[in-house]
Chains A and B, each alone.
Chain A
Amino acid sequence: ETGVTQSPTHLIKTRGQQVTLRCSSQSGHNTVSWYQQALGQGPQFIFQYYREEENGRGNFPPRFSGLQFPNYSSELNVNALELDDSALYLCASSQTGTWYNSPLHFGNGTRLTVT
């Protein structure tokens, strides 16, 4: 079974630009969550998608948006980038109803640098 894959691994953007990060879920997983991990901090929950709809959101502004596709892959979009958006963005997938026995499986993340 394939794990969670994220692309790109690294990205450099300029303040004010827009960025799209991509995530392919682990096979059989239908729920995707995104986390932001600033340097030296623990990950913070951005939002979760289930059946192509947002199912819960953390304390992030609307310029952070997402999509989930029929194959359960997902995108994280960030508009009007700010310097504080520089972080590691982690995608995690899980299988509905078995999240405890098969909890979140994380990808290796995308390192975003905003200059």
Chain B
Amino acid sequence: AQTVTQSQPEMSVQEAETVTLSCTYDTSENNYYLFWYKQPPSRQMILVIRQEAYKQQNATENRFSVNFQKAAKSFSLKISDSQLGDTAMYFCAFMKPAGLNTGTASKLTFGTGTRLQVTL
């Protein structure tokens, strides 16, 4: 079974600064996907960024980028130019793709989350 570990329960960053959230995972799979989701007080999980394990190039989405180290099983999220609207819970998640009608779902395995507070 896969496990995802987020060792930083809470973090704080000043507006316009850069912050890095850590995530490690454990799996014996070679083909998988990694995600960062954001959960604001509205409770909706919002996809921030995704990474395919077979791609060596780190994914980037505007102010968000990842540092994917496959051998170390590490997947950190860097938020540049932090904004007040970035305040939320951030969850790292792992997915092993599976086929339909196989009884095995393509399910997300989440970490316990990091609460990020962006301050003025």
- Docked Cα-Cα span, A6 to B112, in Å, equals 23
B120 within 8 A of A: no
Taking CB atoms, residues of chain B closer than 8 Å to A40 are 112-113
- Label chain A's interface by main secondary structure: strand
> With an 8 A cutoff between CB atoms, is A50 at the interface?
yes
A88 touching B112, Cβ below 8 Å: no
Whole-angstrom distance between the Cβ of B8 and the nearest chain A Cβ: 14
Contacts of B110 in A (CB 8 A): 42-44
The residues of B that contact A53 with a CB separation of less than 8 Å are 101
In the complex, chain B residues whose CB is within 8 Å of the CB of A67: none
Q: Is B107 a contact of A48 with CB atoms below 8 Å?
A: yes
B45 touches A103 (CB 8 A): no
Given A42-B91, A42-B113, A96-B100, answer yes or no on A56-B44 (Cβ-Cβ < 8 Å): no
Residue ID in chain A nearest B33 by CB atoms = A100
> Which residues of B from 37 to 68 have beta carbons under 8 Å from A?
42-47, 50, 52
Given A42-B110, A44-B110, A99-B106, verify A55-B101 contact (CB < 8 Å).
yes
Chain B interface main SS type: loop
Contacts of A55 in B (CB 8 A): 100-105
Which of A11-19, A69-77, A78-86, A104-112 makes up part of the contact surface? A104-112
Given A47-B105, A56-B105, A41 contacting B112 (CB threshold 8 A) = yes
A21 proximal to B (CB < 8 A)? no
Q: Is the CB of B35 within 8 A of A107?
A: no
In the bound complex, residues from chain A placing their C-beta under 8 Å from that of B102 are: 55-56
* CB-CB nearest 9 A-B residue pairs: A56-B105, A42-B110, A48-B105, A106-B45, A45-B107, A109-B43, A108-B44, A108-B43, A56-B104
Please give the residue numbers on chain B whose beta carbons come within 8 Å of chain A beta carbons, in ascending order. Answer: 4, 33, 35, 42-47, 50, 52, 91, 93, 97-98, 100-113
